[in-house]
Structure 1
Amino acid sequence: MRSCLLPGRVPAAAPAREEEERRQEFPAFSKVQKSMATELKRPSTPAHDCLTADRLLAPSMPALIAGACREHAAKPAFSIVLPNGWTRTLTFAEIDALSDDFAFFLRERLRLEAGDVVAVMGPNCLAYPIAAYGIMKAGCVFTGLNPLYTGEEARFQLADSQAKALVVVDLFADRLEAALDGTGVRHLIRFSIAEFFPLWQRLLITWKLRREGRLKPFPRPAIPFSRALSEGRRVRGGRRSEIFWHERSLDDPQIFQYTGGTTGRPKGAEITAFNLLANITQQEIMSGETLRARASDQETTLLVLPLYHAYALAIGAMHAMRAGTHIVLVPNPRPLSNLKPAFDRFPITMLPGVNALFQGLLEEDWFVAHPPRHLKLCVSGAAPLSPAVRARWKEVTGCEIHEGYGLTEGTCIVTASPLDETMKPGTVGRPLPGTEIRIVDDEGRDCPPGVPGEIWIRGPQVMRGYRNRPEETAAVLADGWLKTGDVGFLDEDGFLVIADRKKDMIIVSGFNVYPAEVEAVLAEHPGVAEAAVVGAPDEKAGEVPWAFVVRRDPALDEAALKAHVAARLTAYKRPKRYVFVDELPKSPVGKVLRRHLREEARRLAGAK
């Protein structure tokens, strides 16, 4: 039995004999990789007829989490780095025990049942993975809320997901009244970014936040996270969370992953346990051998992307954790100088990110002057990677950025670039094992190589459907194929090139204009820091491109941009108006919120 913990403390690593017993219960997952790599076929109906549990990396998500934690017990699992340089680290054994404690708290103290939904809303900090893993170990369904949501936006997701409990950071207390009103949330658990720090540091952090006016009273009674863990530990005794795992099947939802809400109301993608396990297994097959060949004693990933997002959750909290990677969390990456202590204190070897992150770091003097020495692998997704950013990053860090493609409805990852010399810059790689891709024209016919069309995917990672939205599910899922709404093409070697979002395409007098193409041309101008192109209404052409531009050179004007674009694009693709802005509206993972720009363009067009 593990010793009891005081609030804010964590258990020591398990004794060697106990660890050996656990390893026997969860044999090394690598034994199934060879058969999985050769036998993973195109899914039929149901999606996993061709897959059995012995071909996945684990029989369930809780088993994968527990198995990884017990295999790498003594290694550091998660660290948090605050802007002032304070850090705190938990080992895999500690994460395992604490998430078990939380699972027992949910089931035996709150009396939640298997399949109940538990929401988490907060920044990247040590409490987040413990809560997420504990929710899964309890047989409950996890849903992560965007930490930038207003109370009204949070209320929609809580109500739509039918969440019974909310785990929320204390900094968001002022949003809770609006967030909880009219929802089915019965239980509130609050945590702090200072969770697990020594008492004196917790007190100082709390004092500073209160002095800044960032800590408000909770509108309802909330159980402190440390107390939830203590109560869960007490009722758990010497038991493990395995007693809950049999209550859920691979076909049951594991996560309700809500779309980013860049267009209208977010939709909850029902990601099953099978979807998650299959996607993690696919990543292992495609990149595992290369990563193991490059591996040092332990890789260290800096996770800047928010954990509520599929990209961070699947790559950071799931796949990297399964590989025994040390994950370094930063609660708030803005300003980017907040990342400097992480690079200073840890040998960062992997950095998943988006174009905005890589570009932003290249504009930081401290980063360019002292680039990370240990960096081996950088991965970009969620938004197009600028060729200029790719080239400059390689020049400064010596590390290549590998692009991939994924979407919420595909669990996370659909294609990935090879981690060797066969990668093709400008593409997002090849489909993961077991994943099919079709490029389809407006008539439903397959496009030949090099010809753009809508990207359709089929594979074991494709979601079950949208929660509570049968009509919208039917609109995007047909015969196992997911109609992504993205436009792209396959080259002669089977590499995927993304052109744009279908719904973002601008139709000018019947001609298709892809914003990404125009944005790439604008990005080539040395005076442009960032640019986004959207369609604006036009009486003659129906709609025309407008460019929203963030200047790097304050002297940059519309005439200079018009001359630059005229030499590179045909007339109908050229922006008809340039709007200079201080910054582009973005989601927490760096996607440009085009809906906001379209609304602004319509407003300005009407004003004219």
Structure 2
Amino acid sequence: MNKTASDRPWLAAYGSDISPVLAPSPYASLAELVQDACARFAEKKAFTCVVPNGMSGSHTFAQVGTLSDDFASFLRHDCGLKPGARVALQLPNGLAYPVAAFGAFKAGCVLVNTNPLYTASEMIHQFNDAGVEVLVISDMFADKLAEVVPQTSIRHVVLAGVPEFFPRIPELVIRGVQKYWTRSLPPIPKLAVPVLRIRDALRLGRKQPEVTDWDKLKQNDLAMLQYTGGTTGVPKGAMLSHGNILANLEQVRAMGSHHIAGKDCVLTALPVYHIFAFTANLMTFFAVGARNILVPSPRPVQNIQRALENYPVTCITGVNTLFNGLMNEEWFAAYPPKSLTAAIAGGTALHGAVAERWEKITGTRIAEGYGLTESSPLVTFNPLEQPMRTGSIGVPVPGTDIALVDDNADPVADGQPGELLVRGPQVMLGYWNRPEDTAQTVQNGWLFTGDVATMDEDGYLRIVDRKKDMVLVSGFNVYPNEVEDCLAKLPAVLEAAVVGVPDAKSGEAVRAYVVRNPDQPDELTKQDVIAHCRKYLAAYKVPKSVIIRDELPKSPIGKILRKDLKAEVRDEFAGKV
């Protein structure tokens, strides 16, 4: 599948603003990027963490540089880590995260992002799979350590709190609320390995020689083990090199050069341990000297209110559920942020109804993109200077080739759906210790995404659905995204998810799980849902059954988890069909 210029119709969409040739990164590693940004933007504020009551703390670029130097020294000298050792970060958004992450890069270590909400068994699996030696974890989850640490290779534990590095009085107030009102700070268990607060770890590192050999890192060196979401099986560690992330940063900046600059202020409500926010928010905006407003948790969505009211946010990144949730908040709909210039969606399909309503309320458009963990993550994006195409994930970013193929890996006809394949400098090195999975997923440099897409004559792509989520009704393909997008147009529906269920007559049937919109006066019935779908969908696509729920299962970034609903269906129909 060699590509020629005539095979890349999307190049015309670049216009005069986007170069079709990807500029090489000026850096050899993420450590060098961090060091350079901290020096160039020393006195500017880099990160501000805002909690729901509006209290906050900030770090300048210079402070981030100094503290991450201290943490690198701690890892290398006090923990005895060698370059290539794995360091896990299990932290919500906060000032401790960039200090620890950037310190790990400067120490030549490999960052392992870990969901703070993982159960003990999930932590044990990931830490053992990655061979983690140092764990930096939120003190809110310290009660898991006694079970986890003895069953892993972890040799040092570092604790950090949400108000870490806040001014003293706000820090004490927040810790007091956590400890005495919510009881969310468990006692620290006694462990056979050293356990330190992050400030103590930094003090130790400050006494040690500065780590300077990060300049020996190269772009093909491993930077991160970013574990997949496990939506189709056991989570796997995608090996992302320094070059993978650096190339993707250049691709992000190429597609949004007029909206990503040092004057910007980006709201980071999505967790930075997720690859979307890590690359698009944390690294991209840090590299240009912009300010990041970190929200430890966007749920409930009211947690974002003070951040938007108190800071001149120019850019918001989010998923469909976050944008939808904000617009259902009276304070946001009545007083949308005046400084906002851009909103970027990814992680899951953006519903057309949500995009249209967002533009009416805020006066700005949501630019949708597409990516996945294995591609660092950005693959396609809607050029911000071009007319928006609702429902499209945009065009391939510079330096990226795509192909749409059938089950035999042969190219599909123009306009037909096929599995999306990706080739570019952002594609992972492979899966950690999983050569068979790597060989199946990456073939001849092409990443098989498992997503079904179509491409129009201008090179704009649309995701039809996950290949494994497709429902086969009497031989007809039904893509859940299409049905969910239809359901989103029903005002009484707040959220929806569609899966297939076994059916004796048609093989499979469509089932819709819906959450009622509390702002609508009329009660939602199953008959309402089915009648609405019949107006817009072919009969075989109309849900045969409807389940009304108070909430739907979601990932940490707010992505609705069909896999959990499919697991319920398997249990429900076990032995029946």
Please give the range of the TM-score, normalised by the shorter of the 2 chains.
over 0.9
* Residue 445 (str. 1) matches residue 415 (str. 2): no
- Counterpart position of 1:47: none
CA contact (8 A) 1:137 1:244 kept: yes
TM-aligned CA deviation for residue 166 of structure 1: 0.1
- Counterpart position of 2:542: 574
Superposition map of 1:114-129 within 5 A:
114-129=83-98
TM-aligned CA deviation for residue 271 of structure 1: 0.4
SS in 2 for 1:597: helix
TM-aligned CA deviation for residue 244 of structure 1: 3.2
Aligned partner of 2:49 among 61, 80, 89: 80
1:41-82 per-position Cα deviation (integer Å, ceiling 9, x unaligned) = xxxxxxxxxx9xxx3131211111111121111111000101
Whole-angstrom distance in 2 between the partners of 1:541 and 1:465: 39
CA contact (8 A) 2:28 2:218 kept: no
Superposition map of 1:414-563 within 5 A:
414-552=379-517, 553=520, 555-563=523-531
TM-aligned CA deviation for residue 267 of structure 1: 0.7
Superposition map of 1:188-587 within 5 A:
188-211=157-180, 212-219=182-189, 220=191, 221-236=194-209, 239=210, 241-246=211-216, 248-288=217-257, 290-291=258-259, 298-552=263-517, 553=520, 555-587=523-555
SS in 1 for 2:77: helix
Whole-angstrom distance in 1 between the partners of 2:229 and 2:366: 24
- Counterpart position of 2:131: 162
Q: Which amino acid aligns with 2:491?
A: P
CA contact (8 A) 1:546 1:601 kept: no
- Counterpart position of 2:561: 593
1:288-317 per-position Cα deviation (integer Å, ceiling 9, x unaligned) = 2x236xx5x611001000011000100111
* Residue 186 (str. 1) matches residue 155 (str. 2): yes
Q: Which moved more, 1:409-418 or 1:448-457?
A: 448-457
SS in 1 for 2:378: coil
Whole-angstrom distance in 2 between the partners of 1:444 and 1:65: 41
CA contact (8 A) 2:28 2:242 kept: no
Whole-angstrom distance in 2 between the partners of 1:371 and 1:568: 32
TM-score, length-scaled by structure 2: 0.93
Q: Which moved more, 1:420-429 or 1:92-101?
A: 420-429
CA contact (8 A) 1:81 1:342 kept: yes
Q: Which amino acid aligns with 2:112?
A: T
1:147-198 per-position Cα deviation (integer Å, ceiling 9, x unaligned) = 2111111111111110100001100011222332421011000111121122
CA contact (8 A) 2:142 2:188 kept: yes
CA contact (8 A) 1:153 1:179 kept: no
Q: Which amino acid aligns with 1:234?
A: K
CA contact (8 A) 2:137 2:160 kept: yes
Whole-angstrom distance in 2 between the partners of 1:537 and 1:181: 43
Whole-angstrom distance in 2 between the partners of 1:439 and 1:607: 37
Whole-angstrom distance in 1 between the partners of 2:255 and 2:92: 30
Whole-angstrom distance in 2 between the partners of 1:423 and 1:397: 15
CA contact (8 A) 2:48 2:58 kept: yes
Q: Which amino acid aligns with 2:557?
A: V
- Counterpart position of 1:150: 119
Q: Which moved more, 1:219-228 or 1:86-95?
A: 219-228
CA contact (8 A) 2:327 2:358 kept: yes
Whole-angstrom distance in 1 between the partners of 2:339 and 2:364: 10
SS in 2 for 1:562: helix
Whole-angstrom distance in 1 between the partners of 2:150 and 2:563: 27
TM-score, length-scaled by structure 1: 0.88
Between the two proteins, what is the percent identity of the paired residues? 45
Whole-angstrom distance in 2 between the partners of 1:551 and 1:480: 45
TM-aligned CA deviation for residue 604 of structure 1: 3.7
CA contact (8 A) 1:57 1:281 kept: no
Across the aligned residues of Structure 1 and Structure 2, the Cα RMSD in angstroms comes to 1.7
SS in 2 for 1:331: coil
CA contact (8 A) 2:255 2:384 kept: no
Runs (4+) of structure 1 moved beyond 3 Å?
36-40, 602-608
Unaligned runs of 5+ in 2: 1-15
1:213-257 per-position Cα deviation (integer Å, ceiling 9, x unaligned) = 211122224111001111111213xx4x432331x3322210000
CA contact (8 A) 2:452 2:465 kept: yes
Q: Which amino acid aligns with 2:183?
A: G
Whole-angstrom distance in 2 between the partners of 1:439 and 1:431: 13
CA contact (8 A) 1:440 1:453 kept: yes
1:70-95 per-position Cα deviation (integer Å, ceiling 9, x unaligned) = 11111110001011111111111111
CA contact (8 A) 1:155 1:181 kept: no
CA contact (8 A) 1:303 1:328 kept: yes
* Residue 70 (str. 1) matches residue 72 (str. 2): no
CA contact (8 A) 2:251 2:398 kept: yes
TM-aligned CA deviation for residue 546 of structure 1: 0.7
CA contact (8 A) 2:93 2:296 kept: yes
Unaligned runs of 5+ in 1: 1-33, 41-50
- Counterpart position of 1:46: none
TM-aligned CA deviation for residue 493 of structure 1: 0.4
Q: Which moved more, 1:439-448 or 1:198-207?
A: 198-207
SS in 1 for 2:484: helix
- Counterpart position of 2:6: none
Whole-angstrom distance in 2 between the partners of 1:586 and 1:489: 27
CA contact (8 A) 1:280 1:318 kept: yes
1:392-447 per-position Cα deviation (integer Å, ceiling 9, x unaligned) = 11111111000000000111100111011343222111111110000111232212
